[in-house]
A and B are shown apart, each in its own frame.
Chain A
Amino acid sequence: MNITFNGKAKQLAANTSIQELLDQLRLDCLQVVVEHNRNIVPRQRLAEVILNDGDTLEVIHFVGGG
């Protein structure tokens, strides 16, 4: 299936959860904000939400410093 990930097309295995995608990308779930189809997903739900064909996902990854 295909999703739009940070504005670009991305191919994914069916039934991938957001948490699994973050793990594949080696992104620490505590350092990201995830917007799924324009709604921000609470951290504790990242493993529950299964991505569907055509979904839009924005992952904002923060780095330290300020």
Chain B
Amino acid sequence: MQIIVNEQPQQAKANESAGEVRDRIKPDADLMIVNGFPAQADTELRPDDKLVLIQRGEQPDADELDALLTARHTPGVHEKVKQTTIGIAGVGGLGSAIAIALARTGIGHLIIADFDLVEPSNLNRQQYFLDQLGLPKVYALRDTLARINPQVRVTACHLKLTPDNIELVFGHAQILLEAFDVAEQKAMLIENFAARFPDRPMVAASGMAGFGPANTVVTRKVTNNLYLCGDGCTAAQPGTGLMAPRVGVAAHHQANAALRLLLGENPVPENE
């Protein structure tokens, strides 16, 4: 019978137990999971069961990670995803969440740029940890991304983006994600990237503060190559702060728009 062991198809004898398969394929494994539930050595396997064998403390190598993502995402998707370079301007609430989503997706190369250091007030929504306070955000995030998927190449630029360095920093980015905090910076980035790379798609964000309904955060196509995620109006201001859930909704709209673009799908299909 056929079963799936660590995301790969394997042949097993009829009624073979999880422990027998472990001894055959990965004898050092000390944890067995069958179809999502912890299993014992004598758990009998059935055709098409999914067996995961884990050795505590051991990390999969590059080939294993690749196989895992290929199995999860299908080969066609994974090949495209891992050949893509995406730029993220700003790694605060939006950018840090976008980067983590895209690293988990297996994007080949992320270019992240921000001049900020991790501050205590960031921790209500940004993907940093208490032990990273005071570090440049781009370096803290690079470390976190390496823990998630070391196969993702990360170019971390600790600098303030200006009209003069956008081309240098994001020259290789096939898609640009705008993830700044300040409205003027958002406008500056889009204007300048579009001027230099008119054919490359951009996904910006505007309006995701507070705890208003999540369903008012949408992805819109505003011009030929510019997509805008957010409710379009809720600015961060006293009384309407930025909070993890809604900023996360907007960030993942952006990450999903980028994924759709790189897979050749329209982020906002015409009939919607």
Contact = CB atoms under 8 A, between A and B. Distances in A.
Contacts of B187: 30-33, 43, 60, 62
B235 A63 contact: yes
Interface in A47-66: 58, 60-66
A40 B190 CA distance: 9
Contacts of B219: none
B233 to A, nearest CB: 6
Interface residues of A, number: 18
A38 interface: yes
A42 B195 contact: yes
Contact of A65 (B190, B222, B223, B236): B236
Given A31-B183, A40-B195, A58-B222, A66 B190 contact: no
Interface string B171-182: 000000001111
A66 to B, nearest CB: 4
B191 A62 contact: no
Interface string A9-37: 00000000000000000001011110100
B156 to A, nearest CB: 18
Contacts of B181: 64-66
A63 B234 contact: yes
Which among A32, A58, A63, A66 has the greatest number of chain B C-beta atoms within 10 A? A66
B67 interface: no
A66 B208 contact: yes
Assign chain B's interface to a size class.
35 or more
Chain A interface mostly helix, strand, loop or mixed?
Answer: mixed
B204 interface: yes
B184 A30 contact: yes
Contacts of A38: 223-224
B195 A60 contact: no
A58 B207 CA distance: 18
B205 interface: yes
A63 B233 contact: yes
Contacts of B226: 33, 60
A66 B179 contact: yes
Interface of B: 90, 92-95, 179-184, 186-188, 190-191, 194-195, 198, 204-209, 222-224, 226, 228, 232-237, 242, 247
What 8 pairs across the A-B complex have the smallest Cβ distances?
Answer: A65-B236, A63-B235, A62-B183, A31-B183, A62-B186, A66-B181, A65-B209, A66-B94
Interface of A: 28, 30-33, 35, 38, 40, 42-43, 58, 60-66
27 contacts: A30-B184, A31-B186, A31-B187, A33-B187, A33-B191, A33-B194, A33-B226, A38-B223, A58-B222, A60-B206, A60-B228, A61-B206, A62-B183, A62-B187, A63-B183, A63-B232, A63-B233, A63-B235, A63-B236, A64-B181, A65-B207, A65-B234, A65-B235, A65-B247, A66-B94, A66-B180, A66-B186
